[in-house]
Chains A and B, each alone.
Chain A
Amino acid sequence: MRQKNVLEYLEKTVRELPDKTAYEDADHGLTFQEVYRSSRAIGSFIASKGLYNEPVIIFMKKTPEAVTAFFGSVYGGCYYVPIDEEMPRLGTDLILKTLGAKLMICDKDTREAASALGFDGTIADYDEASSFPEDAEALTSIRSRQIDTDPIYVVFTSGSTGVPKGVVACHRSVIDYIEDLSEVLRVDRDTRFGNQSPFYFDACLKELYPTIKFGASAVIIPKQLFMFPIKLVEFLNEKKINTICWVVSALTMISGLNVLQKTKPEYLKTIAFGSEVFPIKQFNRWREALPDTRFINLYGPTEATGMSCFYEVDRDFEEGDVIPIGGPFSNTDIILLDENDRPSEKGEICIRGTALTLGYYRDRTRTDEVFVENPLNDRYRELIYRTGDIAYRNERGELVFCSRKDHQIKHMGHRIELGEIEAMVSGIDKVVLCCAVFDKEKDRISLYYTGDIEKGDLDAALKDGLPRYMLPHKIIKLESMPLTPNGKIDRKKLATEAAGK
């Protein structure tokens, strides 16, 4: 039967494996039955508020209950928008304003922070919503109204003007992605995921949805462990984790600190990584330590629902080589377009297919800039997503990522617009000029500025305004900003200087 709704995964699995643990963190887990019952209760709660096709903000700790709240929102015919305490206050304010949501679900750990947000809708406790009596009739009626192009989530990504963009994805795209990804990762009932990515990004789709599709399990790894590599590996072994999809920096933290020589993850069968270039020296340490493990490089923008391309490592790489991003998933097409919008062996990665999301929430202008008519098709309407990433095809026909068209960077697995950092810094009192540059080699952001403010005060102000991963590693105060002959800030000069030190 044709699948229309992501919840059908859960409904099938709960019949087969009701008592198996679906999601767990360091303290506790929830079975498929518990996830099913509680998410239906939350759906009924949302229905009782008369909400339909509305955003529901999920402001909770990273727990199995948070996942349940996501599914609960979909049961209620609404779409979830995860936010997190780690997000900076200013960003959260903008997100709340953009959304205009009527309902937020929080838990006892976030209750206080939620009340302080100045949110003008209803704030409900998870415990209250998840113990609401199930209204099967209401849920059935909601289901009969839903179609597969209805949204299920909105996640926010960095925008160059400092205003985050909310990417809206629907059932159809998520189902399409999960089917293809699960095949590549070879997910089955015995898969035990070790989740690293935050819930407020689409990266966590990789664990959350295959888990309900196959009756697998996902373990939410405490964030603290990513600072202490030996404990992290011990945790992977204790939880018998066999499949991970992590950002490269989480993997290099383990190999870079020489942990693999002392202790190894014993159960890992599949390591997927992505969002960043994997330094070959570190990559080879992993491969040597785990010769029987499959290594898969994933590539994809949030705007095309999670990941679009994959490459399973099938040969040796030497220092100086780049691991390719391979080719697209089976129901996705990649076109490389040159500056004149003609097909090319090297060019901008443009994506075609069901994976394309619905665009940016309440932002038609920025949506229309990147979700555009396919310039190669003059016969009928066909949208492509322009990623802004430049790639080329190697002699094997594999795609290899080269660079960005603009000032966007990839750092610690996050997509960052340097312009967003600059927009934030410029807004700080007494800052006159500023420029953020990125040293790809060292994976560091440096910030140059002029103005009558001390470094320490600027650093403190930045921490209020920027998420952790966007904070510059070095702040340099200048007497005057170097300018190009046209009077623009000389980025190249600053970038060279930052790299030289």
Chain B
Amino acid sequence: MEELLEILEELHSDVDYETCTTLVDDRIIDSFDIVTIVAEVDERLGVMIPAEEIIPDNFNSAASLWALIDRLQNG
């Protein structure tokens, strides 16, 4: 989770990722951010997020994104 938060904070250092659950709905992150997140998660965590998992629910909060990564890693 630490690593993921680092990736997210590099993108937007003014967002409180611990509490925010509307990253997509409130347009806090955009398409460029999604592409960056997918690339960084692959590079730094070694987890490939497949296209069918790139849906709003998985990207609305750091927690849901982490749950996805966890599922991909251990599922």
Is the pair B52, A262 in contact by a Cβ cutoff of 8 Å?
A: yes
Choice from A227, A252, A259 contacting B30 with Cβ under 8 Å: A227
* Interface hub of B10, B29, B35 (most chain A Cβ within 10 A): B35
Q: Is B56 an interface residue (CB 8 A)?
A: yes
Complex contacts, A473 vs chain B, CB 8 Å: 10-11, 36
Say yes or no for A151: interface residue by CB 8 A criterion. no
Of all chain B residues, the one with the shortest Cβ separation from A260 is B51
Interface residues on A, range: 20 to 34
Interface residues of A: mostly helix, strand, loop or mixed?
helix
Q: Given A228-B56, A230-B54, A412-B32, check contact A257 B14 (CB 8 Å).
A: no
- A224 contacts which chain B residues (CB < 8 A)? 24, 56
B74 at interface, CB cutoff 8 A: no
What 1/0 mask marks residues of chain A from 402 to 417 whose CB sits below 8 Å from any chain B CB?
A: 0000000000100000
What's the dominant secondary structure at chain B's contact region?
Answer: helix
Bound Cα distance A230, B31 (Å): 13
> Do residues B30 and A230 form an inter-chain contact, with CB atoms below 8 A?
no
**Given A262-B52, A473-B36: A227 and B10 interface contact (C-beta under 8 Å):** no
Indicate whether A231 sits within 8 Å of B32 (C-beta atoms), given known contacts A258-B50, A455-B13, A456-B13: no
Contact A257 B38 (CB under 8 A): yes
Q: Contact check, A257 vs B30: say whether CB atoms are below 8 A apart.
A: no
Q: Write out the residue numbers on chain B whose beta carbons fall within 8 Å of the beta carbon of A226.
A: 31
Which residue of A has the minimal Cβ distance to B49?
Answer: A257
A139 CB-CB contact with B under 8 Å: no
Q: Is the CB of B12 within 8 A of A459?
A: yes
A–B pairs, 15, beta carbons within 8 Å: A224-B24, A226-B31, A227-B56, A228-B34, A229-B54, A230-B52, A252-B35, A257-B38, A455-B13, A456-B14, A457-B14, A459-B13, A459-B14, A460-B14, A473-B11
Besides the known contacts A250-B31, A412-B32, 5 further A-B residue pairs in the complex with CB atoms under 8 A apart:
A230-B55, A257-B35, A258-B51, A259-B51, A455-B13
* Residues of chain B at the chain A interface (Cβ within 8 Å): 10-14, 24, 29-32, 34-36, 38, 50-52, 54-56, 59
